[in-house]
Amino acid sequence: MKTPLRFRQIHLDFHTSPFIDGIGSKFDKKKYQETLKRAAVNSVTTFATCHHGWSYYDTQVGKRHPGLNFDLLRAQFEAAKEIGINVPIYLTAGVHNMAADEHPEWREVGPDGRYVGWTPNNLHAGFMTMSFHSPYLDYLVEQVQEVVSLFPEADGIFFDIINQGEDCSVWGLRHMQSKGLDPLVQADRQQSRLDALMKYYARATAAVRDIAPDMPVFHNSGHVTPGFREILPFFSHLELESLPTGGWGYDHFPQSAKYAQKLGMDYLGMTGKFHTTWGEFGGYKHPNALRYECGAMLAFGAKCSVGDQLHPTGEIDESTYEIIGAAYREVAAKERFVEGARNVADVGLLNSQSTDGRTAFLTHAREKPGDIGAGRVLLEEHVLFDILDTRMDFAGYKLLILPDDVVVDAGLEAKLRAFVAAGGKLLLSGDSAVDGERGMLFDVGAEVGAHSEFSPDYWKPRADLAVPFARSPMVMYGRARRVKVTDGESLGDVFDPYFNRAWDHFCSHQHTPPRPDPSGFAAAVRKGNLVYLAHPVFSIYRGFGQVALRQTLGRHLDLLLGKDRSVKLENFPSTGRVTLTHQPAEGRHVLHLLNGITINRGGRTELHGGTASGGLASFEVIEDERPLHDVKVRVRLPGKVGAVTLEPQGAPVEFVRDGDWLSFTVDHVGLHQMVVFHG
């Protein structure tokens, strides 16, 4: 592509009602330029069309916003280009209210015969989704061609809201009939859904590249589905939408990035300046939060994008760009230590969704509890890891984790057996690798039977694996499999409750206590390089976040990894995040230490009916920078290390070398500290 991604981007939303006039009336070229320059911005995604359906340029295909009397996109485009700022251009795709009003027959219709949209009905405010089986797609393609022809020097095209339901509009029904699909069968409606999406991807991308072959293209659906790579040829790069306060939380982006970095594509992290989520006017994130989020993007290998929303008058908000500037000036000083970096990982976390990526993609499923819980355990235990799908190479990882419900088919089984035969280690939990007919597919030194009749039950780890404050049986809110040790090594016992809670016999407020003696079934077993945990431990951690469980799992990870961990930290809290990257061109490694203290604030309240309504019970926010002191670090690196520095300060760090290990102390860790190892 002609334009490499830049590190300091703005996604400048401009979804503007036709009932507002004076559009762009306060756009000031000089102020626009000076504000962006002060904030160290070097790319701005700018609107050609919005969800309301209006165009902000001189169009012959669509309709210019009725309150706009000049080419606003052209003015913004030229102002940015004049000072060396890139301008990707945004077009709405999946929702389009103007087209829906003028052509209701183009709207998506659900199997129940109702129009589909972001609202329950036409009497509620919100955007309307369009059928990609309908002539709407022809209209969209024509508008894309117009924009690319008018702006051939644009730095990319950003398509938004790429989704499609089980469309049963007249167009969807005709498509199913033509393909021999039965609209009364959900699987056939799902196939039609996939057909519509793939048709959209092919035509929208071709509309750009037939005119400008090197122009970057991105299609946003808010998520990158692990294991479904069929759409990636239509992308030049990825943009990982993840607004922590908008419902994603602070652990979403690291896990999204850890999968994206294995796909061999350049990618952005995308957060927002908003206190809540997209479309919020007058909401401001604390500058420390944005500084942390941008530091996290760099630590996890991404370039940075911050979402903003321009006022209908076109006047850029100075408060917003003071906040963004505080973060982006730091990014500008750090980005040379991130360019071309590759993640270093000890552990591969096999994403369970990737075993059926097509279904996950079609259902727009964003997470499975086992995947999220396992990622959180690894982040909080400061283990270096990648997130993998089933097509990726397993070689080079010291340990693979299959969390809770990974379905292992013949191809994956062969890959895993080859990995273990080459000396690799496996940690399995719950139903992972348990076949309905063959049982446990790997020799874990035990018979893995059916699920227990009891839920919850209790886990008492072996003494050396129990955490000091939880040596008694620990409640487990998930049904275990019955495990009988044969030639393996028991790592702990299951304690059954006296009975399950029922209307006619129960005990206390929640669940029945454990019997005094173990059940005779193992909670965990080890044989050689394999460990199997009988409970869906990662889903349980995702649901309940019990510290004792996470620390217990950390001890089981250490049992397998032993001295093979590449990084060990002392005086670093579970809220901290660590990554290690390698910049081969520069011959150096970079350790990233992130220190963001999150707190839940707010409470469930009734809003005005926007995208944040009826949503979160609280918002996960960062306000204070609370530095850490005297963080002790041990890093195992190959090759010669001539010097260690804190960056971007350029301050030297004294270190001691012991074989492959380097030991040193970082005196002060703010929100984000880089430690660079120079060859």
pLDDT range class, residue 444, cuts 50, 70, 90 = very high
Say yes or no to pLDDT of 13 above 90.
yes
Tell whether 549 and 579 lie within a shared domain.
no
Distance CA 58, CA 184 (A): 44
Q: Which CATH number is 647's domain given?
A: 2.60.40.1180
pLDDT digit string (tens) for 126-171? 999 999 999 999 999 999 999 999 999 999 999 999 999 999 999 9
Q: Within 13 Å of residue 642, how many CA atoms lie on the same side as its CB?
A: 4
pLDDT (0 to 100) of residue 356? 83
Task: Give 620 or 403, the one with higher predicted confidence.
Answer: 403
Question: According to the 3-state scheme, what is the secondary structure of 40-80?
Answer: CCCEEEEECECCCCCECCCCCCCCECCCCCCCHHHHHHHHH
pLDDT range class, residue 3, cuts 50, 70, 90 = low
Specify if 115 maps to a domain.
yes
pLDDT (0 to 100) of residue 541? 97
Tell whether 576 and 664 lie within a shared domain.
yes
pLDDT (0 to 100) of residue 619? 85
pLDDT digit string (tens) for 638-659? 889 999 999 999 999 999 999 8
If we measure between CA atoms, which residue out of 673, 637, 625, 626 comes closest to residue 653?
Answer: 673
Say yes or no to pLDDT of 609 above 60.
no
Say yes or no to pLDDT of 186 above 60.
yes
Distance CA 526, CA 282 (A): 55
C-alpha 585: how far from chain center = 28
- State the burial class of residue 379 (Cβ atoms within 10 Å of its Cβ: 0-12, 13-18, 19+): buried
Average pLDDT rounded to a whole number, residues 372-394: 97
Q: At a CB cut-off of 8 Å and minimum separation 6, what does 223 contact? A: 241, 256, 364, 366
Helices 29-38 and 72-82: angle between axes, nearest 10 degrees = 50
Average pLDDT rounded to a whole number, residues 520-545: 97
pLDDT (0 to 100) of residue 554? 97
pLDDT range class, residue 7, cuts 50, 70, 90 = very high
Specify if 2 maps to a domain.
no
**What DSSP string runs through 389-445?**
-TTS--TT-SEEEE-S-----HHHHHHHHHHHHTT-EEEEETTTTEETTTEESS--S
Tell whether 561 and 574 lie within a shared domain.
no
Q: At a CB cut-off of 8 Å and minimum separation 6, what does 349 contact? A: 258, 371, 374, 375, 378, 385, 386, 387, 388, 400, 401, 403
Specify if 3 maps to a domain.
no
Tell whether 657 and 600 lie within a shared domain.
yes
CA angle 306–309–313, rounded 5-degree value = 145
pLDDT digit string (tens) for 238-267? 999 999 988 899 999 999 999 999 999 999
pLDDT digit string (tens) for 306-360? 999 999 999 999 999 999 999 999 999 999 999 999 999 999 999 999 888 787 7
Distance CA 7, CA 41 (A): 9
Neighbours of 208 (CB within 10 A): 24
Tell whether 272 and 359 lie within a shared domain.
no
If we measure between CA atoms, which residue out of 107, 86, 96 comes closest to residue 140?
Answer: 96
Find residue 494's DSSP bridge partners. Answer: 459
Task: Write out the H or E segment, with its range, that includes residue 579.
Answer: strand 576-583
Distance CA 595, CA 672 (A): 6
**What DSSP string runs through 531-557?**
EEESS-HHHHHHHH--HHHHHHHHHHH
pLDDT digit string (tens) for 41-51? 999 999 999 99
pLDDT (0 to 100) of residue 613? 46
pLDDT (0 to 100) of residue 615? 55
Say yes or no to pLDDT of 122 above 90.
no
**Mean pLDDT over all residues of the chain?**
95
pLDDT (0 to 100) of residue 362? 74
Boundary of a domain, candidates 309, 339, 369: 339
Domain extent for 100: 8-339
What is the residue whose two structure tokens read 């339901």?
165
268 contacts 240 by C-beta, under 8 angstroms: yes
Helix, strand, coil tally for the chain in percent (to 5): 30, 25, 45
Tell whether 437 and 559 lie within a shared domain.
yes
Lowest mean pLDDT among 48-52, 581-585, 612-616: 612-616
Tell whether 561 and 640 lie within a shared domain.
no
Boundary of a domain, candidates 500, 535, 565: 565
Q: Which CATH number is 241's domain given?
A: 3.20.20.80
Tell whether 577 and 558 lie within a shared domain.
no
pLDDT (0 to 100) of residue 617? 67
Boundary of a domain, candidates 565, 587, 615: 565
pLDDT range class, residue 606, cuts 50, 70, 90 = low
The string over 557-576, giving b where at least 16 C-beta atoms fall within 10 Å of a residue's C-beta and e elsewhere, is bbbbbeeebbbbbeebeeeb
